[in-house]
């Protein structure tokens, strides 16, 4: 197995830099991906990026992963709180999985305080902004 990691960003994350900067920061999804690519060079891993606003596309991507992938880092966006199907798709995979959220979902609106995804992942990193993705990548590489 290669050190190949899939980074998934769910609904509305393509709007980073344009949406609630006080909550999500003033960087774009491309900025985040570029920082992760730099970190991946240091860690000696390969990254693939996937973003979709469509739940079924995300599930199909996860279900279609081949054995070359060592792990998944996922920010499911609003699907965090609603998608049993995404939970089930992640639960099936035996590779290392980390849920990441830019904001602290537990300090936000009541409906955002429950993650259906966390139980299907090995760990969660929440509320650390884009640094959370860097920490997730480092932790994943350390633990595969």
C-alpha–C-alpha distance, residues 89 and 60, integer Å? 9
Q: Any catalytic annotation for residue 69?
A: no
Residue 123 falls in which region: left (phi positive, over 0), alpha (psi -120 to 50) or beta? beta
Q: Which of 69, 87, 101, 135 is catalytic?
A: 101
C-alpha–C-alpha distance, residues 49 and 72, integer Å? 10
Evaluate whether 2 touches 40 at the Cβ level (below 8 Å): no
Q: Any catalytic annotation for residue 24?
A: yes
C-alpha–C-alpha distance, residues 7 and 49, integer Å? 5
Helix axes 29-43, 131-143, angle to 10 degrees: 30
Residues with catalytic function: 24, 101
């Amino acid at each position: 197995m290669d050190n190949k990691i899939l980074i998934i960003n769910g609904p509305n994350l393509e709007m980073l830099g344009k949406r609630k900067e006080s909550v999500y920061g003033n960087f774009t999804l491309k900025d985040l991906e570029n920082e992760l690519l730099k970190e991946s060079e240091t860690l000696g891993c390969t990254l693939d990026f996937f973003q979709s606003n469509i739940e079924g596309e995300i599930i199909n991507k996860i279900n279609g992963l081949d054995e070359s992938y060592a792990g998944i880092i996922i920010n499911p966006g609003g699907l965090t709180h609603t998608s049993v199907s995404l939970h089930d798709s992640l639960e099936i995979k035996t590779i290392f999985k980390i849920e990441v959220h830019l904001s602290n979902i537990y300090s936000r609106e009541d409906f955002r305080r429950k993650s259906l995804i966390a139980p299907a992942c090995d760990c969660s990193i929440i509320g650390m902004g884009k640094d959370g993705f860097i920490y997730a990548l480092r932790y994943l590489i350390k633990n595969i």
